[in-house]
């Protein structure tokens, strides 16, 4: 693939501020004249969004098998890559994506306990070498993030989805797995302390982006 654009992902547990900061990242890049595609996983195309619905549906009548969950995540990813991410990168756009494969290592690997070697096999099969240029890992203790999530749910009148209903131990394992991923790829994954006022988080993100823009020019 002729890849001219850049691929930036935002990662972290539930309610750490990914969507809020995705808007900041995308606006910051657009203000510098770049074409930016804002997207998310699972999802990003109509069919991948249909898979997202299946994954997040808390219906208790039929539990979702862990392997089925893993395969659905990668099925959605294959569709998203083919229809949105690869074409955008090929035409020189920057793709800013709310979650990607680090989430699979964190949730299906850390949270569900699936062998990471199996996840890595699917990653190689589906992505064929395509990985993010930069990953912003928003990190904070899960208890504090849960309080933010509750605030948002109260305001939206929303319901917890299938993942948001998991126990605290699940989210602690997710956080540990994310931090392990950051340790394994320090050249790609930048860990941001998300447990600080939004202005401080966003100042840090903007100066990091400016550094990348300069380095990649």
Ligand X SMILES: Nc1ncnc2c1ncn2[C@@H]1O[C@H](COP(=O)(O)OP(=O)(O)OP(=O)(O)O)[C@@H](O)[C@H]1O
Ligand Y SMILES: Cc1cn([C@H]2C[C@H](O)[C@@H](COP(=O)(O)O)O2)c(=O)[nH]c1=O
- The answer to whether 194 and 18 are in contact (CB under 8 A) is no
- The answer to whether 9 and 104 are in contact (CB under 8 A) is no
Tell me whether residue 123 or residue 202 sits nearer to ligand Y (CB atom): 123
Residues 6+ away with beta carbon under 8 Å from 162: 55, 56, 57, 58, 64
Distance of closest approach, residue 20 Cβ to ligand X, in angstroms: 3
x/- binding map, residues 163-202, to ligand Y, per CB under 6 A?
x---------------------------------------
Tell me whether residue 13 is annotated as binding.
yes
- The answer to whether 100 and 136 are in contact (CB under 8 A) is no
Distance of closest approach, residue 214 Cβ to ligand Y, in angstroms: 30
Tell me whether residue 15 or residue 42 sits nearer to ligand X (CB atom): 15
- The answer to whether 55 and 43 are in contact (CB under 8 A) is no
Structure tokens at 78: 């294959």
Catalog residues that contact ligand X under the rule CB under 6 A.
12, 14-20, 148, 151-152, 197-198, 201
Residues that bind ligand Y (CB under 6 A): 14, 41-42, 73, 98-99, 103-104, 107-108, 163
Q: Which residues does the annotation place in the binding site?
A: 12-19
């Amino acid at each position: 693939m002729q890849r001219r654009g850049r691929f930036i992902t935002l990662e972290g547990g539930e309610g750490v501020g990914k969507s809020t900061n995705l808007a900041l990242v995308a606006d910051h890049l657009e203000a510098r004249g770049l074409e930016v595609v804002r997207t998310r996983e699972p999802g990003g195309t109509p069919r991948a969004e249909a898979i997202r619905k299946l994954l997040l549906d808390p219906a208790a009548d039929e539990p979702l098998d862990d392997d089925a969950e893993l395969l659905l995540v990668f099925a959605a990813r294959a569709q998203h890559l083919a229809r949105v991410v690869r074409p955008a990168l090929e035409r020189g756009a920057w793709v800013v994506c709310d979650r990607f494969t680090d989430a699979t290592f964190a949730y299906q690997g850390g949270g569900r306990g699936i062998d990471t070697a199996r996840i890595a096999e699917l990653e190689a099969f589906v992505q064929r070498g395509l990985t993010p240029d930069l990953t912003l890992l928003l990190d904070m203790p899960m208890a504090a993030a849960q309080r933010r999530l509750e605030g948002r749910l109260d305001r939206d009148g929303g319901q917890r989805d299938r993942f948001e209903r998991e126990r605290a131990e699940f989210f602690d394992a997710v956080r540990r797995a994310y931090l392990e991923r950051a340790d394994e790829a320090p050249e790609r994954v930048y860990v941001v302390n998300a447990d600080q006022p939004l202005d401080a988080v966003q100042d840090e993100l903007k100066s990091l982006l400016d550094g990348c823009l300069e380095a990649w020019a």
